[in-house]
Structure formats: structure tokens, C-alpha cells
Amino acid sequence: YKMKPKKCALVSTPRSGTHYLRMSLDNHPKVRWTGEFFRNCKSTSKSYERIKSYIYNDLCSTIIDQYDYVGFVWHLTLESDLDLSKIDEFILLKRRNILEHLCSLLIATKTGRWRDAKSKEKIELNMAQLNFFIDRQNKAYKNFENLGVRYKTVFYEDLCENFSQTIKSVQDYLGLECFDVFPARLKKQETRPVGDIISNYEEVKWTLKDMNLL
């Protein structure tokens, strides 16, 4: 008798590396991952629709019943309409460098390009933006952490610097058979140091130091 796949949510905020992590986990032969739920847009992907109907309504199908896990992305900035008891495991993806995170978000918003495109844009950063961003991030993570569900925290920086070990720790947490999973093929949109991205960097440097962000 084959057990039904377990259900996993990859929880994060935009520009944290969710696409990179989910596409990498999708390279595991016993896992099938799909994109974001809770966004008001229809997906044409059959796999997305099947995973969604399974996670919401437990309707299994031959497309997914061969897997040990199916998963989806939940951006905490979007309102969830899903009963959390339907989800077996949660992975919380965060970024340690809040300034790089904000720059990535501002540039993607400004250019309308969210992946696979090199950026040459510059931005002027004001402190109100930074404070708002930090407050919003902290609130989103705190609200999630207060739900009382079991979760594993993964940091984007660990994924970039020590991919194999980080992915292995995720496989261990999910109780999956360990495979050498290949990183997703994505072009890193932003590789410049923040000093080259922020046009008024010198001006804001002392504030950043004061906030322990440098």
C-alpha cells in the first residue's frame, strides 16, 4: 500500500530565494514542488492545479501519487486561505542580510524583472523605506512563528555558500531519502555589493552601522 504524499509549505517573503530553493528541491526524484498559492492569478500548469487540489481537498492523482512530498510556496505578505492543519511540514526561508534583501526587492519592483536578468540599476534608499521594510519583515516572521507549527529555518546565504549541506539538512528534516540534488539553474540577478547599488550609500552608511546592518 502506497502512502499518499506528505504536504509541505515553503514559507517566506518575496526576494528571499524561494524560486531557487523550490526549483532545487524539485530536482529530488521523490518531491514535486509548485509555485505560490494565495496570489490572484490562474495557473495553466496541470501540475500546479493537481497539487493545489490535493493540498486543499486531498484529491490525489497519478501525477503526484508517485512522490513522497508535494509542496508549494507561501509568501507571508499574502493572506492564506488554507487550513494549516492540512500541511504536514513547513520550511521557513529567510535572508540574513536585510539590506541586500531590500535592494533586490526594490530593483525587481523598479524593473519588473524578477529572475534570470542581470541588473545594472541604481537606487536611492531612504531610511523610512528601510525601517518600513524591517518592521514588515519582522512582523511577518513573528506572525508565522506564533502559529505554533513545527518548521525548519533555512537561510538563503547558506543555500548560496554551502548548497549541498543545506539541502541535505532539508532532506533530513523532511525524512526524505538523501540524494545529491543539483542546484536550480538560475541566473543570479544581483551580484553587486550594496555599495554599488545604492547611489546615496555613503550618506546612509552611519545609520546602517547604528542599526547593525553593516
**pLDDT at residue number 18:** 92
Q: Tell me: pLDDT of 99 over 60.
A: yes
First to last CA, the chain: 54
Residues 6+ apart with CB under 8 A from 177: 30, 68, 171
* DSSP state letters, 72-122: EEEETTS---S-GGG-SEEEEEE-S-HHHHHHHHHHHHHH---SS------
| Sheet of strand 6-12, all strands in order from the earlier edge strand to the far edge | 31-36, 69-75, 6-12, 89-94, 151-155
**pLDDT at residue number 65:** 86
Task: Give the tens place of pLDDT for each residue, 115-173.
Answer: 655 677 788 888 888 889 999 999 999 999 999 999 999 999 999 999 999 999 999 99
Mean pLDDT over 3-18 rounds to 93
3-state DSSP assignment of residue 152:
strand
Residues 6+ apart with CB under 8 A from 178: 168, 171, 172
Q: Model-level pTM?
A: 0.88
**pLDDT at residue number 49:** 87
107, three cell numbers: 530593483
Q: Tell me: pLDDT of 44 over 70.
A: no
- Rounded Cα gap, residues 50 and 61, in angstroms: 7
Gyration radius (Cα) of the chain, Å: 18
Neighbours of 36 (CB within 10 A): 19
Q: Tell me: pLDDT of 43 over 70.
A: no
